[in-house]
């Protein structure tokens, strides 16, 4: 009875907000075991019905960073510069959220992220042959001499582990993957703590855009030298399609690189002395990290990643031959 009332109330809510299909909600009909399931977004405050399972986790565009209140700290600020000339011009101030650029930095978390990034893609190809593999490859599987009558120790094969050039007992086997996944919150904290240290060291600079007047590499080198930036500089923007001039200018400079926001990682920020972010890149990074650090649907997301939407189709009779 309670379930039917809940389903009826939710159906009225859907109809009130313009949804034309109330049967997509989780409805139980007359206590029957069969039901039609549909994920419903309750935690966003929006009564919009979703059409598939994956949309239930795609709520980043509905996050309002201005409505989020931090529990401690104050927002930081950085000058907004231009790239029109090597000297540049300051056109305003950019507010940096304290939960992303002003947390209490922990070097151990950054170290865990650095070790994870260097290790998870490695594959060890070191392989040592055991007794059977040595016999298969080099022979020597028979007894070297009779069991008795020779006055020698008894042996079954010259490829035994105690022989020179024999097989190894517990040697490494290839291929061996070193892949492992760092905890989600540790990956988030690794980014925020690295950004904080970069900001404390005055190695984060905010620019209005990445448009430069020429595609000559000398312009970039002169700009970095005139502004006192580090020799290795990383430019970050929201898209992976960068302006033509800065792409051509940095193509032949090995220590100056371009990277989109979705590729930003701890190792890249540590390898480059200076981190140059556009205004929209700062907003995008802030929105994504705050959303990731405060989302509450991780259990449902993990379960969906492991199982996914299950669709059972019985095709037993489809290809049965006619007798």
| End-to-end Cα separation, the chain, in angstroms | 50
**Span(s) in the chain for CATH 3.40.1370.10:** 78-121+181-298
What six digits make up the tokens of 294?
């405060």
| Ramachandran quadrant class, 308 (left: phi over 0; alpha: psi -120 to 50; beta: rest) | left
What six digits make up the tokens of 288?
């994504």
What pLDDT score was predicted for residue 301?
A: 75
What pLDDT score was predicted for residue 57?
A: 60
What pLDDT score was predicted for residue 95?
A: 95
What pLDDT score was predicted for residue 229?
A: 95
The long-range contacts involving 135-141, CB below 8 angstroms and separated by at least 24 positions, are 135/159, 135/167, 138/165
pTM: 0.73
What six digits make up the tokens of 181?
């996944």
Structural contact between residues 234 and 204, judged by C-beta atoms closer than 8 angstroms: no
CATH architecture of the region 78-121+181-298? 3-Layer(aba) Sandwich (3.40)
Alpha carbons 142 and 152: distance in angstroms, whole number = 16
What pLDDT score was predicted for residue 263?
A: 96
Pairing type for strands 274-278 and 204-207 reads parallel
Q: Per the omega criterion (within 30 degrees of 0), is the bond before 175 cis?
A: yes
pLDDT tens-digit profile of 96-147? 999 999 999 999 999 999 999 999 999 999 999 999 999 999 998 889 999 9
Alpha carbons 155 and 142: distance in angstroms, whole number = 9
What pLDDT score was predicted for residue 70?
A: 87
HEC per residue, 64-104: CHHHCCCCCCCCEEEEEECCCCCCCCEEEEEEECHHHHCCC
Is residue 255 helix, strand or coil? coil
What pLDDT score was predicted for residue 161?
A: 94
In this structure, the number of other CB atoms found within 10 A of the CB of residue 218 comes to 11
258, 272, 279 from 251: Cα distances, Å: 9, 16, 23
CA atoms within 13 A of residue 246's CA, in its CB half-sphere: 22
> Which distant-in-sequence residues (6+ apart) come within 8 Å of 263 by Cβ?
240
What pLDDT score was predicted for residue 35?
A: 40
Given a cut of 50, the residues of the chain with pLDDT beneath it are 1-3, 6, 19-55
Nearest to 157 by CA among 182, 178, 132, 174: 132
Pairing type for strands 76-81 and 90-96 reads antiparallel
């Amino acid at each position: 009875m309670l379930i039917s009332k809940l389903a009826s109330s939710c159906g009225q809510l859907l109809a009130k907000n313009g949804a034309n299909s109330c049967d997509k909600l989780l409805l139980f009909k007359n206590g029957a075991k069969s039901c039609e399931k549909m994920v419903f977004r309750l935690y966003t405050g929006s009564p919009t019905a979703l059409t598939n399972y994956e949309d239930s986790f795609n709520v980043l565009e509905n996050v309002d960073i201005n409505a989020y209140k931090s529990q401690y700290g104050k927002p930081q600020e950085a000058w907004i510069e231009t790239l029109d000339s090597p000297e540049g011009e300051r056109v305003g101030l950019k507010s940096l959220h304290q939960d992303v650029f002003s947390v209490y930095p922990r070097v151990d978390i950054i170290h865990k992220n650095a070790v994870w990034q260097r290790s998870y893609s490695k594959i060890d190809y070191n392989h040592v042959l055991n007794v059977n593999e040595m016999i298969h490859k080099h022979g020597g599987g028979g007894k070297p001499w009779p069991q008795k009558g020779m006055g020698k120790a008894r042996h079954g094969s010259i490829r035994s582990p105690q022989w020179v050039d024999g097989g190894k007992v517990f040697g490494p086997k290839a291929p061996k993957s070193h892949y492992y996944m760092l905890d989600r919150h540790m990956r988030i904290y690794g980014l925020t703590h690295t950004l904080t240290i970069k900001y404390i060291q005055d190695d984060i600079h905010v620019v209005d855009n990445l448009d430069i007047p020429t595609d000559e590499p000398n312009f970039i080198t002169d700009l970095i030298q005139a502004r006192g930036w580090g020799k290795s500089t990383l430019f970050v923007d929201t898209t992976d399609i960068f302006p033509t001039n800065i792409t051509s200018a940095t193509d032949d400079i090995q220590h100056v690189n371009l990277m989109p926001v979705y590729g930003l990682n701890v190792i890249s920020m540590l390898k480059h002395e200076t981190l140059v972010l556009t205004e929209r890149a700062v907003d995008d990074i802030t929105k994504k990290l705050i959303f990731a650090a405060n989302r509450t649907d991780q259990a449902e997301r993990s379960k969906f990643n492991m199982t996914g939407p299950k669709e059972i189709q019985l095709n037993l009779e489809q290809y049965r031959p006619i007798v």
